[in-house]
A = this chain, B = another copy of it.
Amino acid sequence: MNKKATIYEVAKKAKVSLATVSRVLNNNKNVSIKTATKVKKAIKELNYIPNALARNLATNKGYQIALIVPEVSFSFISRVISGVVDVGLKNNYNVVLYSTNYGKDSVNKIINSIIESRIDGVIIINSEINTQAMAKLSKNDIPLTIIGTPVKGKIRSSVSVNYEKITYEVIRKYLQNNYYKIIFIDGEYNRFVATQILSGIKQAFLEDNTYFDGYLQVDESYSQSYLQIYDYLKHNKVDLIIGARDSLAIAALNAALDLNIVIAEDLDIIGYNNTKYSRMARPALSTIEVPKYDLGAKAAMQMVKMLRKEEIVVQNEVLDTYFVRRNSSKIEV
């Protein structure tokens, strides 16, 4: 079966024109049941499989969605990917995966490749995308949906989570309980989320007429961040640590443990994303739930919509998030 049957051969075998075959292939109603079955029989017999390459050229569509993920594989990203792939596939779109791995101009390279591949739409996680790249996409009429950052603009939609709001609520509660020495531990990646969190913290402090000065940036590697936090905790009394990701919070957890600080008594610790490992930490980590899978799934849905309709659907979806208290914190939010 080296040679694949073409639509012509099916037509010949069924004794109809190739146009008719094409019609039954595309479920066009204007075909009599009789000829349709005849054609289907021929398809079966010839083991005919349509050639997507040819269809793509004829329709000028590739039925592909590009998914661009940041270079670092945070644990929650795999869930997002699952969401995108599931929904994409279910709607007959293949998803092509790109990662922004090499240098700074990589996004531009990727965008070029996307345009050349005639990929129909692109979904990008946590916008490391620059305005230039976005302009290039829209110039080529390629719709874009961004996961993480709410954006406006035609041919552009987004699905995100409001880190700022939930953070504000959590911090406010802590301030009300007289937890004032609050530290926000941030890594190096994912600036966007960090900015939002920071903004939420500051807002709560502002409302309390106090000043936030607890920003602590650490290395991304576990061993380094652990050491830096350990060092900080050794010299400073802290009421609450909030880590930009669960893994950062766990580093803090371990550092505190090793300093014999009583967690949830002398010190509350909270992470973000409700990673599966937050439950495994000892004590189990309090965290902010983020609907990882849904971020991906909804993004893909938006994209499919944009791709299907002529009218451009601009949409900025904000998904729900909430605080999950476990054993690493005392205050109920």
- A interface with B by C-beta (< 8 Å): 1-2, 4, 49-54, 56-57, 60, 62, 64, 67, 73, 75, 77-79, 81-82, 85-86, 89, 94-99, 101, 112-113, 115-118, 139-141, 222-223, 247, 250-251, 254, 257, 276-277, 279-282
Contacts and interface: CB of A to CB of B under 8 A. Distances in A.
A92 to B, nearest CB: 8
Contacts of A99: 82, 85-86, 89
A117 B140 contact: no
A94 B113 CA distance: 9
A95 B96 contact: yes
Nearest to A61: B53
A60 B64 CA distance: 18
Nearest to A254: B282
Q: How many copies does the complex hold?
A: 2
Contact of A56 (B50, B53, B67, B222): B53
Contacts of A277: 247, 277, 280
A22 B111 CA distance: 22
Contacts of A52: 62, 116-118
A79 B94 CA distance: 21
Nearest to A84: B97
Contact of A50 (B51, B75, B116, B223): B116
Contacts of A257: 282
26 contacts: A2-B141, A49-B115, A49-B116, A51-B118, A53-B62, A53-B117, A54-B57, A56-B56, A57-B57, A73-B81, A73-B82, A75-B75, A81-B81, A82-B101, A85-B99, A89-B98, A89-B99, A94-B113, A95-B96, A95-B97, A96-B96, A96-B97, A222-B280, A223-B279, A247-B280, A257-B282
Given A49-B112, A75-B78, A254-B280, 5 more contacts: A52-B116, A73-B79, A86-B101, A89-B99, A222-B276
B139 A1 contact: yes
Nearest to A59: B53
Nearest to A106: B89
Contacts of A86: 99, 101
Scoring A99, A116, A257, A277 by chain B CB atoms within 10 A of each residue's CB, the highest score goes to A277
A99 to B, nearest CB: 5
B254 A276 contact: no
User: A-B pairs with the 4 shortest C-beta distances?
Assistant: A73-B78, A78-B78, A52-B117, A53-B56
A223 to B, nearest CB: 7
A52 B61 CA distance: 11
Nearest to A114: B94
A1 B277 CA distance: 48
A248 to B, nearest CB: 11
A138 B273 CA distance: 42
A280 B51 contact: no
